[in-house]
Amino acid sequence: MSQITDIKYRTDFTVRAAETDYTRQLTLPGLLRVFHEASLQSVIKLGLSIWHLEKYNASWVLLRKEVNLYKMPVLGDSITVETFPSGADRHLTYRDFKAFDQQGNLLATASSSWLLMELNERKMMAIPPELVQSIERFFPDLSDCLPRPSGKLPLVSNEDFEWNAQVGWFDLDFNYHLNNVTYASWMLNALPESVFKSKTLSNFQIRYTKEALLNDQIHCSTQQINEFQFSHQLNRVSDGADLAYGKSSWI
């Protein structure tokens, strides 16, 4: 591993047409893909990528994420993304994301927690101490980090809206399960058109509980909490297993 002097990774992205909606604004799934690409490049730089984890037969899996949206860029805009690991303990690592416009204005933030999955048993494993020893002295003070995602997310007790999907080949990531961005996309797909046309997404939280695999039938349930908030839930149809919980807040 090369010597590490700064654990922050910064890169520029241009908003592409495939990442925008009918208003030409960057969508939440588009932003999440940008964040995840930046995090991949970051762990490669730090020597903590999936390729570096092969000797442990393990891979990083996203457990939870909270996104705050302040102003979404539009098609053709250039944005700067900054990401860095913000801490670690025996079972979880934490990572922050920030997106800025070219004038340095903050557009969006995200805090996240990740676990290490053993690939044969598909179960969480303790993080080997040597994985973080090389970078832990560079972790920022907690006061300089985003609040870590925490607290329970509301369950869907009465379904107001629904959407159904099946996991296809191009929905899988390199862990051979449903890409975590698609979980978020499918949750929001259950909302009616009127929400997207009359409101602006300001906060999105998601907690992943189980893997969705190829050909799984997925039921996406949404309940309206109040005028500006919705709870979301994904379930596998075959066994009813809860796959993820979410909450969206709008203005």
Q: What is the pLDDT of residues 111-123, one digit of tens each?
A: 999 999 999 999 9
Rounded average pLDDT over 123-140: 89
Domains of the chain: 9-144 (3.10.129.10), 161-250 (3.10.129.10)
Q: pTM score, two decimals?
A: 0.94
Mean pLDDT of the chain: 95
Q: Are 118 and 58 in contact (CB under 8 A)?
A: yes
Q: What is the pLDDT of residues 50-64, one digit of tens each?
A: 899 999 999 999 999
3-state class percentages of the chain: helix first, strand second, coil last, to nearest 5: 20, 40, 40
Q: How many CB atoms lie within 10 A of CB 104?
A: 7
Q: What is the pLDDT of residues 29-56, one digit of tens each?
A: 999 999 999 999 999 999 999 899 999 9
User: 71: closest CA among 31, 29, 127?
Assistant: 31
